[in-house]
């Protein structure tokens, strides 16, 4: 396609502008949700928009959860994480570190 060839010749990379996590990152490390975005893009590649929305919905939901942390915020708001921690402490399966108990090491 001549349009895309022109972009390559000019050094323009459309994919980097369209994808949030694929741009150059500081220190050359991949972004936190890069893997989820990559799975979503690979799933929808070559399917067409309508079919990709239907077939790649789980990958898209995983990517959005990684980006926005909605499930984690909902669980923290309900206190389920803290309740689960307290339950594990009572059962003896988890021992919190000393600095979580308020027993910090003496500082110089």
Tokens for 36? 């989820």
pLDDT tens-digit series, residues 49-99: 888 889 999 999 999 898 888 887 777 777 777 888 889 999 999 988 877
Residues in CB range of 44: below 8 A, 6 or more apart:
52, 55, 56, 59
- pTM, to two decimals: 0.54
Q: Tokens 């959005």, residue? A: 64
How far apart CA 13 and CA 17 sit, in angstroms, is 7
């Amino acid at each position: 396609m001549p349009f895309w060839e022109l972009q390559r010749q000019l050094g323009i990379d459309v994919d980097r502008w369209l994808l949030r996590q694929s741009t150059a990152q500081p220190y050359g490390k991949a972004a936190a949700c890069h893997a989820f975005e990559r799975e979503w893009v690979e799933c929808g590649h070559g399917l067409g928009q309508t079919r990709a929305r239907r077939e790649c919905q789980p990958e898209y939901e995983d990517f959005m959860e990684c980006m926005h942390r909605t499930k984690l915020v909902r669980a923290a708001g309900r206190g389920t994480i803290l309740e689960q921690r307290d339950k594990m402490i009572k059962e003896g399966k988890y021992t919190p570190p000393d600095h979580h108990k308020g027993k910090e090491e003496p500082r110089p």
